[in-house]
């Protein structure tokens, strides 16, 4: 079964590579439904190379799997995660957007390893009444349409944020729109909120939610374990839903309110994204008055809905790293006055810090992410932690590629962290590595929990 699924998947991937132009218009419907094309593809030479490489990798995985079948579950799991590094050269050889599609489709079909080892207990924490088994999350933009939530959480992320989702489906900017700066560990993107829209995403999340509820009912009927396990509406992990606005929409607040009405029932937390550099005028919503009006409207929309015992999902705002001191003071004041539940710091930057500026790809318009963003976003995080006096949970994002980086963000004021670019380059093996390193950093410095380390740089 698994071998057949992998074969079909591989065939579809190669077909896609060979017929990229023909596929462009129907990318999502094809990838979501998982339909393999009817006719056998004519595979170009470069794809044959890729097929050999992947065939060899899958062979190795199967042979290795047979070899370690006598090993215990944790060893086998560690081995599987390490083995995923073997496919990184194949991914590097693909166009960035195709590589992304392939990785996401693999996760959506369960063709990625599942983390079976428990997280170190030092990494567990609770925010907004939700229990996180670890503070390392996947940032928005990777699973824009909630196609692979279960597979991605299964990789061991403490939380996954889907989106940005726009009310009406939109294509985003013309391709190519994602550019690698491999040497610098960075990406420039100008996707422009390519989204299947809130209805499609709600359907998908609703189906997953229903399945989980059924599974939970059958589980609780056979066990009476009262322990509250980490996790939220997406099962064993926390699910964030990041909301965007349509490019041509003139009423931004109405767009976010629609997102809240349609998607908040599935979310453990909601994000108003006002910081993408690729939607004209979006970042102006970070101004004091605009932000205040927007948050008030979105909070009102959320609060007038019917909520059960656990209450409405917390509301966060995701900000840019390119803001002035004055902008940050305004945002902090609004966040404190309106009792915002959290801030995500940060989105991509429109600046081109060294050494990126020397790379010709740096001239591509769009937002820069990855290693060169680390210092800039961490400085904004520090500033915001001080301005909000540690009263608002902050999610640190931007340039994290190791446990030490995650630790630095936490010391700078983040309660939990997120990453995208390093995961896109390194793949699943990076997640257990970051978690193990982070646990080591905390223990090394004598902290007993993540909580204790939050904002430690200022004590």
Ligand X SMILES: Cc1cc2nc3c(=O)[nH]c(=O)nc-3n(C[C@H](O)[C@H](O)[C@H](O)COP(=O)(O)O)c2cc1C
Q: Which residues are catalytic?
A: 276
Q: Which is nearer to ligand X, 18 or 361 (CB)?
A: 361
Site residues for ligand X, 336-395, by CB under 6 A, read 347-348, 369-370, 373
Least Å from the CB of residue 187 to ligand X: 4
Applying CB under 6 A, the span of 139-147, 213-221, 285-293, 388-396 interacting with ligand X comes to 139-147
Q: What is the 3-state secondary structure (H, E, C) of 406-439?
A: HHHHHHHCCCEEEECHHHHHHCCCHHHHHHHHHH
Q: Is 397 in the site for ligand X (CB under 6 A)?
A: yes
Q: Is 398 in the site for ligand X (CB under 6 A)?
A: yes
Least Å from the CB of residue 67 to ligand X: 35
Cα angle 150, 153, 154 (rounded to 5 degrees) comes to 80
CA quadruple 70, 75, 77, 82: dihedral, nearest 10: -120
Count, residues near ligand X per rule CB under 6 A? 28
Q: Is 318 in the site for ligand X (CB under 6 A)?
A: yes
Beta-bridged to residue 137, according to DSSP, are 159, 418
Q: Tell me which H or E stretch contains 81.
A: helix 73-83
Contact between residue 357 and residue 398 where contact means Cβ atoms under 8 Å apart: no
Strands 136-138 and 269-273: unpaired
Q: Is 246 in the site for ligand X (CB under 6 A)?
A: no
Applying CB under 6 A, the span of 17-25, 210-218, 221-229, 416-424 interacting with ligand X comes to 416-424
Q: Which is nearer to ligand X, 164 or 264 (CB)?
A: 164
Least Å from the CB of residue 406 to ligand X: 11
Contact between residue 169 and residue 200 where contact means Cβ atoms under 8 Å apart: yes
Least Å from the CB of residue 428 to ligand X: 15
Q: Is 13 in the site for ligand X (CB under 6 A)?
A: no
In the bound state, the residue with its beta carbon closest to ligand X is 141
Q: Tell me which H or E stretch contains 271.
A: strand 269-273
User: Which 8-state DSSP code applies to residue 173?
Assistant: S
Least Å from the CB of residue 426 to ligand X: 11
Q: Which is nearer to ligand X, 54 or 286 (CB)?
A: 286
Q: Which is nearer to ligand X, 136 or 140 (CB)?
A: 140
- List CB contacts of 457: < 8 A, sequence separation 6 or more: 382, 411, 412, 413
Out of 200, 421, 438, 450, point to the residue binding ligand X (CB under 6 A).
421
Site residues for ligand X, 221-240, by CB under 6 A, read none
Q: Is 152 in the site for ligand X (CB under 6 A)?
A: no
Buried b or exposed e, range 356-384, using 16+ CB within 10 angstroms: beebebbebebbbbbbbbbebbbebbbbb
Least Å from the CB of residue 433 to ligand X: 15
Contact between residue 264 and residue 335 where contact means Cβ atoms under 8 Å apart: no
Out of 312, 342, 399, 427, point to the residue binding ligand X (CB under 6 A).
399
Out of 50, 103, 124, 141, point to the residue binding ligand X (CB under 6 A).
141
Q: Is 178 in the site for ligand X (CB under 6 A)?
A: yes
Tell me the CA end-to-end span of the chain in Å, nearest whole number. 56
Contact between residue 434 and residue 134 where contact means Cβ atoms under 8 Å apart: no
Applying CB under 6 A, the span of 22-30, 50-58, 138-146, 425-433 interacting with ligand X comes to 138-146
The structure tokens listed for 400 are: 């994290």
Q: Is 283 in the site for ligand X (CB under 6 A)?
A: no
Q: Is 241 in the site for ligand X (CB under 6 A)?
A: no
CA 353/CA 177 separation, integer angstroms: 20
Question: Could you tell me which of 119, 109, 180 has the C-alpha nearest to residue 422?
Answer: 180
Q: Is 164 in the site for ligand X (CB under 6 A)?
A: yes
| Number of Cβ within a 10 Å radius of residue 299 | 18
Q: Tell me which H or E stretch contains 417.
A: strand 416-419
Residues forming the site for ligand X (CB under 6 A): 139-141, 144, 163-164, 178, 187, 189, 191, 193, 242, 273, 276, 318, 347-348, 369-370, 373, 397-400, 419-422
């Amino acid at each position: 079964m698994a071998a057949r699924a992998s074969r079909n998947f591989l065939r579809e991937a190669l077909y896609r590579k060979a017929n990229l132009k023909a596929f462009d218009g129907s990318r999502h419907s094809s990838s979501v439904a998982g339909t393999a094309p009817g006719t056998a593809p004519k595979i170009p030479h470069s794809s044959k190379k890729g097929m050999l490489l992947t065939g060899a990798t899958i062979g190795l995985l199967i042979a290795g799997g047979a070899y370690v079948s006598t090993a215990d579950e944790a060893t086998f799991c560690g081995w599987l995660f390490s083995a995923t590094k073997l496919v990184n050269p194949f991914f590097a050889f693909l166009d960035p957007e195709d590589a992304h599609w392939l990785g996401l489709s693999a996760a959506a079909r369960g063709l990625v390893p599942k983390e079976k080892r428990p997280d170190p207990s030092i990494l567990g924490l609770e925010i907004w009444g939700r229990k996180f088994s670890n503070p390392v999350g996947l940032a928005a933009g990777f699973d824009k349409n909630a196609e692979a939530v279960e597979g991605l959480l299964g990789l061991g992320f403490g939380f996954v944020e889907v989106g940005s989702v726009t009310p009406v489906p939109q294509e985003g900017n013309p391709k190519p729109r994602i550019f690698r700066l491999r040497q610098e560990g960075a990406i420039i993107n100008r996707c422009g909120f390519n989204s299947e829209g809130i209805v499609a995403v709600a359907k998908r999340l609703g189906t997953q939610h229903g399945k989980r509820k059924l599974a939970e009912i059958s589980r609780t009927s056979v066990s009476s374990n009262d322990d509250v396990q980490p996790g939220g509406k997406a099962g064993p992990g926390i699910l964030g839903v990041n909301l965007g606005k349509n490019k041509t929409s003139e009423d931004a607040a109405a767009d976010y309110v629609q997102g809240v009405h349609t998607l908040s029932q599935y979310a453990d937390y909601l994000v108003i994204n006002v910081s993408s550099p690729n939607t004209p005028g979006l970042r102006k919503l970070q101004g004091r008055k605009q932000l205040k009006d927007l948050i008030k409207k979105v909070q009102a929309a959320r609060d007038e809905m019917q909520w059960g015992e656990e209450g409405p999902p917390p509301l966060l705002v995701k900000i840019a790293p390119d803001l002035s001191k004055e902008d940050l003071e305004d945002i902090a004041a609004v966040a404190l006055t309106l009792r915002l539940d959290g801030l995500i710091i940060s989105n991509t930057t429109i600046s081109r810090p060294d050494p990126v500026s020397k790379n010709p790809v740096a001239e591509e318009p769009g937002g820069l992410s990855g290693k060169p963003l680390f210092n800039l976003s961490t400085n904004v995080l520090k500033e915001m932690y001080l301005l909000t006096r540690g009263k608002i949970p902050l999610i640190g994002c931007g340039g994290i590629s190791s446990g030490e980086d995650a630790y630095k963000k936490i010391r700078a004021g983040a309660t939990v962290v997120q990453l995208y670019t390093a995961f896109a380059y390194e793949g699943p093996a990076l997640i257990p590595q970051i978690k193990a390193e982070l646990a080591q950093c905390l223990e090394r410095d004598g902290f007993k929990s993540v909580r204790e380390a939050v904002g430690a740089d200022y004590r």
